[in-house]
């Protein structure tokens, strides 16, 4: 990448998330192959993935910026906290926003059209809004973009990769003017790649999550009952 531009991936997961098996080493190998400058890994409910990725990158002497970040579930839905210093434990949306501010971080709204309530309130109080998500429909991407325009929020493109193979689903670039956090808040982000995650990969991550949380049997029974219901109706 040129000295005037940064290239990286935002909003993706490592094996620190319950529904992902991607190892820090495989993620770093991907970053090296694609000449990335930054990685914003956002594991569910924990900054452990970002810590491990940062430590391994440092150990291997890689020039990669990896801010501490996580995707936290709140009473209004998922919110990403990035550039924070410590784990955030509250799951109250307003308290989380305040805590991120105290830590000098920023908040990002992932997949606005999936799993959120009180969305206008949320959109008004976060710093950036995701207008592209590789696991979200094109229709929902458009609705997300309209939401960002409504509240005049900076935007970003999210990979939301749960497999290393899907990391390239949204690689972004932006001008290098100040530090990464400031540039994300003030620059126009360009999507270098935009490709939707294969449905099979989404299903696989769901199976991984069900297995690692001990809910595989419940998931199988729900699928079986749906199939029986469809056959009965037909």
Q: What is the dihedral of CA 192, 48, 51, 56, to 10 degrees?
A: -80
Asked if 87 and 102 touch (Cβ cutoff 8 Å), the reply is: no
| pLDDT of amino acid 213 | 73
Judged against a pLDDT cut of 90, whether residue 194 lies above it is answered with no
Judged against a pLDDT cut of 70, whether residue 226 lies above it is answered with no
Range 112-130 burial, b when 16+ CB lie within 10 A, else e: bbeebeebeebbebbbbbb
Cα 87-89-90 angle, rounded to 5 deg: 140
Domain 5-197: CATH architecture, name and number where available: Alpha-Beta Barrel (3.20)
Q: Over the stretch 39-80, which tens digit does the pLDDT of each residue have?
A: 999 999 999 999 999 999 999 999 999 999 999 999 999 999
- Sign for the CA dihedral angle at 28, 31, 36, 42 comes to negative
| pLDDT of amino acid 196 | 80
Average pLDDT value for the chain: 90
Judged against a pLDDT cut of 60, whether residue 234 lies above it is answered with no
pTM listed for this prediction: 0.87
Residue 193: pLDDT band (50, 70, 90) is: confident
| pLDDT of amino acid 192 | 84
Asked if 67 and 42 touch (Cβ cutoff 8 Å), the reply is: no
User: Of 106 and 3, which is predicted with more confidence?
Assistant: 106
What's the whole-number mean pLDDT along residues 1-27?
92
Residue 202: pLDDT band (50, 70, 90) is: low
Judged against a pLDDT cut of 60, whether residue 215 lies above it is answered with yes
Q: Percent of the chain beyond pLDDT 90?
A: 76
Closest CA to 73 of 28, 121, 17, 140: 17
Locate the domains of the chain by residue range.
Answer: 5-197
């Amino acid at each position: 990448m040129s000295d005037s531009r940064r290239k990286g991936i935002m909003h993706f997961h490592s094996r620190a998330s319950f529904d992902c098996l991607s190892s820090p080493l495989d993620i770093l190998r991907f970053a090296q192959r694609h000449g990335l400058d930054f990685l914003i890994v956002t594991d569910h409910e924990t900054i452990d993935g970002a810590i491990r990725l940062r430590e391994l990158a440092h150990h291997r002497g890689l020039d990669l910026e990896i801010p501490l970040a996580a995707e936290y579930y709140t009473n209004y839905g998922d919110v990403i906290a990035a550039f924070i210093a410590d784990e955030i434990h509250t799951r109250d949306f307003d308290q989380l926003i305040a805590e991120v501010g105290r830590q000098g971080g920023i908040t990002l709204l992932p997949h606005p059209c999936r799993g959120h309530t009180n969305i206008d309130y949320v959109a008004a109080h976060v710093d950036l809004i995701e207008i592209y998500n590789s696991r979200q429909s094109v229709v929902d991407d458009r609705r997300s973009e309209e939401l960002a325009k409504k509240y005049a929020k900076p935007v970003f493109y999210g990979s939301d990769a749960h497999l290393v193979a899907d990391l390239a689903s949204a690689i972004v670039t932006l001008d290098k003017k100040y530090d990464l956090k400031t540039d994300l808040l003030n620059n126009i982000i360009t999507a270098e790649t935009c490709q939707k995650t294969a449905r099979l990969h989404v299903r696989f991550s769901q199976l991984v999550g069900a297995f690692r949380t001990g809910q595989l049997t419940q998931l199988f029974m729900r699928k079986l009952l749906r199939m029986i219901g469809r056959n009965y109706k037909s």
